């Protein structure tokens, strides 16, 4: 999963923090899972990172430090899918209908919600309001 700045070329977020560089992507092995094996990504600012990372089963994705006011795109990169995986994005009809995608992808269809960090910490990602 990657955060990208919404510019013509949609560059991946790259935040330089001291000697560290955070590329705004998280691979499977960098993604935390909950007890059911499900994942939740939370996009936030660097100031919110420590609080977000304390929430069990949540993986932090950063907004850009250089372009914080620009719109951001969140992109799920779909790499080398097993041909037998029927829920793959490649099997979604190109009809522009989210319902078609949800039907094909089933439980793999991404769901998005917005909440405050306070609500996330108090209620967890499944009860974010």
Q: What is the pLDDT of residue 120?
A: 94
In which band, very low, low, confident or very high, does the pLDDT at 81 lie, cut at 50, 70 and 90?
A: confident
pLDDT above 90 (res 24): yes
Give yes or no: residues 8 and 19 share one domain: yes
Query: How many Cβ atoms sit within 10 Å of the Cβ of residue 40?
Result: 20
Residue 129 included in any domain: no
pLDDT above 70 (res 89): yes
pTM here?
0.84
Supply the range of the domain harboring residue 68.
1-77
Mean pLDDT calculated for residue range 69-92: 87
Give yes or no: residues 67 and 89 share one domain: no
Strand partners, 16: 21
Give yes or no: residues 3 and 60 share one domain: yes
Residue 26 included in any domain: yes
Give yes or no: residues 67 and 31 share one domain: yes
| Pairing, β 40-44 against β 58-62 | parallel
> Please, how many CA atoms are within 13 Å of residue 88, restricted to the half-sphere of its CB?
11
- pLDDT tens for 51-78 read 999 999 999 999 999 998 899 999 887 7
Give yes or no: residues 11 and 71 share one domain: yes
User: Which strand (E) or helix (H) includes residue 123?
Assistant: helix 117-123
Give yes or no: residues 12 and 28 share one domain: yes
In which band, very low, low, confident or very high, does the pLDDT at 129 lie, cut at 50, 70 and 90?
A: low
Give yes or no: residues 24 and 65 share one domain: yes
Give yes or no: residues 66 and 105 share one domain: no
Percent of the chain exceeding pLDDT 90 equals 68
* Total domain count, the chain: 2
Calpha distance 19→28 (Å, rounded): 24
């Amino acid at each position: 999963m990657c955060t990208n700045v919404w510019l013509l070329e949609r560059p991946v977020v790259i935040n330089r923090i001291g000697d560290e560089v955070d590329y705004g992507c998280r691979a499977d092995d960098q993604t935390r899972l909950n007890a059911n094996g499900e994942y939740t990504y939370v996009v936030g600012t660097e100031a919110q990172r420590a609080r977000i990372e304390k929430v069990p089963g949540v993986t932090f994705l950063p907004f850009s430090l250089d372009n914080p006011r620009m719109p951001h795109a969140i992109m799920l990169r779909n790499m080398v899918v097993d041909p037998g995986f029927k829920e793959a994005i490649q099997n979604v009809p190109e009809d522009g209908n989210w319902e078609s995608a949800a039907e094909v992808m089933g439980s793999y269809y991404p769901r998005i919600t917005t909440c405050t960090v306070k609500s996330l910490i108090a209620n967890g990602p499944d009860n974010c309001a």
